[in-house]
Amino acid sequence: MRLVIDNVSKTYTNNVEALKNVSLDIGNGMFGLLGPNGAGKSTLMRTIAGLQDADRGSISIGDINVSTDKQALREILGYLPQEFGLYPKVTAIELFDHLTVMKGIIDKSEREKSAKSLLTQTNLWKYRNRKLGTFSGGMKQRFGIAQALIGDPKLIIVDEPTAGLDPTERNRFHNLLSEIGENVIVILSTHIVEDVSDLCSHMAIIKDGQVKLIGEPLGLIKGIKKQIWTGLIEKKDYKSIKKEHQLISSKLYMGKVQVRLLNDSKPIEGFKQSNAEIEDLYFSTINDLDKGDED
């Protein structure tokens, strides 16, 4: 089964063009949709999930047309939106049972089996009788992915799932996503580069509603033609460095600024050549930096 997005565009009533002729062909496994906030990721996820219709183009998964057969889509879809609201005074098992009924599982024993299986898989079974208002951010996200797995979905969408999580909870969530398996389509929409580099065998970068790059991460990294250079500079020199060089990224480090530059040869004395990473690919793409002549 494949998810095929063909020339999809979406403009909101305030004339914001959120998606512009987006086309993607996604198969089983983890697919990362990487882009800055406001790039159109959540708009695309909501459109794939059938929560809103595209203005132009089409989306299909297998034989299902997303815009015309929403019931069939719901039967195979698991969705964790960016904003996943929980009832704070309801216990985890109570809400999970309610969501299982909404998914169409009426038989009580089947619902109980599903709850135990999925809450165990997400390490929440021992907390099933706790009220959701007492859950940490990571526990809420794990509950979110548990409900997204109800009914053995063939398409799973998770939108910004690790935003706001501490490093320990992020690692737990990564491990959970990696265990979902290779027999379903999992779309991970995020602005966090590490989420994609840790989990995804295929990815796309989106900016201003347009897909800028798509492929396998390692292959895309090799497509960076110029060399990556890294070094420490004084804060006072940052503006001139940014103006005179192709700056990929920067961060404060021990009172100075650590920068990564794109250049054919050593740009500044003392800088060292560095292996290209997905972060370099991401920032060079969204900043429209020159990657050199194509072969």
Q: What is the pLDDT of residues 174-188, one digit of tens each?
A: 888 888 867 899 999
Write the pLDDT tens digit of every residue in 192-238.
999 999 899 999 999 999 999 999 999 999 888 889 999 999 999 99
Write the pLDDT tens digit of every residue in 66-88.
999 999 999 899 999 887 788 89
- Where along the chain do its domains lie? 3-215, 222-286
Fold of 3-215: Rossmann fold (3.40.50)
One-character DSSP codes across the chain: --EEEEEEEEE-TTS-EEEEEEEEEE-SEEEEEE--TTSSHHHHHHHHTTSS--SEEEEEETTEETTT-HHHHHHHEEEE-SS----TTSBHHHHHHHHHHHTT---HHHHHHHHHHHHHHTT-GGGTTSBGGG--HHHHHHHHHHHHTTT--SEEEEESTTTT--HHHHHHHHHHHHTS-SSSEEEEEES-HHHHHHH-SEEEEEETTEEEEEE-HHHHHHT--SEEEEEEE-GGGHHHHHHHSEEEEEEEETTEEEEEEEESS--STT-EEE---HHHHHHHHHTT-------
pTM: 0.87
